[in-house]
Structure 1
């Protein structure tokens, strides 16, 4: 099955019918939501990536998430944070700084521009009462893993004083380098070594289970061994980034149980692309699967 990237999937999601979206919104309006939907166990803090549900207006999507018991809608720019917060939700992983997935801290020529961007957004994250701000390594562009490690560390160390001052955690996402061709931060151990090299509690990793299953597997082992370096977790079915159910190769209840056992207190963000026609039913199902 062809891997679906964030960039390609969002285009197809946004291409959905507005009429279909409206009908689904009315079907899942919070006023008619069952009260038991929000009765979750509390061991996992649930979040969801909005880009996977692009045909829903953010305001209405927040109402739906609230009715399900989800605490956060994530991967949103500063202009969208107030919309989420007015519903009593948070943004567990903020975005809005940087130059995208491909152009990251691996390229020293981009450091000044990246640093300027992050120095502008970090105070906004703090002012909004948020914590995590996403960043990326970028493509390898012919450099070795060792050189890339040095490049990223050199650039990110320049940002640690402002991140520490504002109590914001810069969080680099681990991505597969097949769908995101040539991406540098594509193995857990490399990312952990970068954390150690930077040496600040304000730099951590976004451990994306979907991407790391593609690249290396051993998901429970890596969570158990390296959880202290993770500020956020993403889900997604393999193959194809579909629902995290019996159609794919990972058993998420065991993964979530292992995560809880570590004492992890961050969020778990659903980042699957719904394949079912009823996308909200898919979201509810996947939240329940992770609610151990």
Structure 2
């Protein structure tokens, strides 16, 4: 197995370029991040070049975080802001060589929000295709993100089918999917054609993957059997120093 360090959670106390170097030293095969926009992209690109690690992806901005926003793309009346967030993410992704952009939907409900999200995604996929970048959408569980527009893989698959763009893919986060739907192995197999990235964390507390109710040794073996070869994203919350939480890497690579 190959693994990607999600630097939104791992080494979050370090500056992003330093976190990239820490991921390399720890043996990760790739990195990904959440919102890198306060860091000059040249600094990130330099760290990636020095380590040889690819940047798998980054997120569009959440919007007005103090006001409770968690994405803009399904918010009726915020279409211009959503497109601006897509443009900003694309510029940054191109500058650092990121492969994917997670377009965040936000807190919304109803058919108008669905149509708004579809419109943003059609814009995003069209613009991203010019740079060979894929757009990802990710269902979030309703415990951590109550009211988030996208909450299940069935809903995500419907949206992928409706947009009908080859560079729109599902980000399958095992943590979120287990909390909302379970049945991880069957869902991975059924959705494999539209999966662009896989993430994981322990369930239910989002800790390291060798803790909690999910047997990731079995899940990772199934992912390998299905032929998914891209690095899997470690998006969990370490309890203390990140280095002390990495024992699972040796176990699951064996």
- 2:23 equivalent among 57, 62, 65: 65
SS at match of 1:231: strand
Q: Any idea what the Cα deviations from partners look like across 1:147-185, whole Å, max 9, x if unmatched? A: 543331122112222111111111112211221111121
Q: CA deviation at 1:269?
A: 0.9
Equivalent residue runs for 1:4-19 within 5 Å: none
Output aligned runs, 1:217-256, within 5 Å: 217-245=182-210, 247-256=211-220
Deviation at 1:98, TM superposition (A): 5.6
Q: Given the alignment of the two structures, is residue 206 of structure 1 paired with residue 171 of structure 2, yes or no?
A: yes
Deviation at 1:58, TM superposition (A): 3.7
Whether the aligned pair in 2 keeps the contact of 1:95 and 1:134 (CA below 8 Å) is: yes
**Is residue 81 from structure 1 mapped to residue 44 from structure 2 by the alignment?**
yes
On the 8 A contact 1:81/1:91 being kept in 2, the answer is no
Counterpart pick for 1:139 among 107, 124, 134: 107
Tell me: CA distance 1:273–1:98, structure 2 relative to 1, closer, same or farther (3 Å). Answer: closer
Native 8 Å contact 2:135 2:168 kept in 1 = yes
Residues 59 and 104 of structure 2 are in contact (CA less than 8 Å); yes or no, is this contact kept in structure 1? no
Q: Does 1:157 align with 2:122?
A: yes
Mapped to 2, the partners of 1:281 and 1:103 lie a distance apart of 32
Asked whether the 8 Å contact 1:106–1:149 carries over to 2, the reply is yes
Are the equivalent residues in 1 in contact too, given 2:125–2:134 (CA < 8 A)?
no
Which residue, 245, 249, 252 being the options, matches 1:287? 249
Aligned residue number for residue 133 of structure 2: 168
Query: How many residue pairs end up in the alignment?
Result: 243
CA 1:138–1:75 in structure 2 vs 1: closer, same or farther (change >3 Å)?
A: same
Kept after mapping to 1: 8 A contact 2:79/2:120: yes
Correspondence for 2:2: 45
Structure 1 portions without partners, runs of 5+: 1-43
Cα-to-partner distance string for 1:80-136 (whole Å, 9 max, x where unaligned): 532333221121112354637623222131112111231243144234322101111
Q: CA RMSD in A?
A: 2.2
Q: Secondary structure at the match of 1:109?
A: coil
Is the aligned partner of 1:90 residue 2:51? no
Contact 1:48 1:270 in 2 (8 A): yes
For 1:270, the equivalent position in structure 2 comes to: 234
- In structure 2, the CA distance between the partners of 1:97 and 1:280, relative to structure 1 (3 Å rule), is same
In structure 2, the gaps of 5 or more residues are: none
Aligned residues of 1:51 and 1:75 also touching (Cα < 8 A): yes
The whole-number CA distance in structure 1 between the counterparts of 2:251 and 2:114 is 36
User: Once the 2 structures are TM-superposed, how far is the Cα of residue 57 of structure 1 from its aligned partner?
Assistant: 4.2
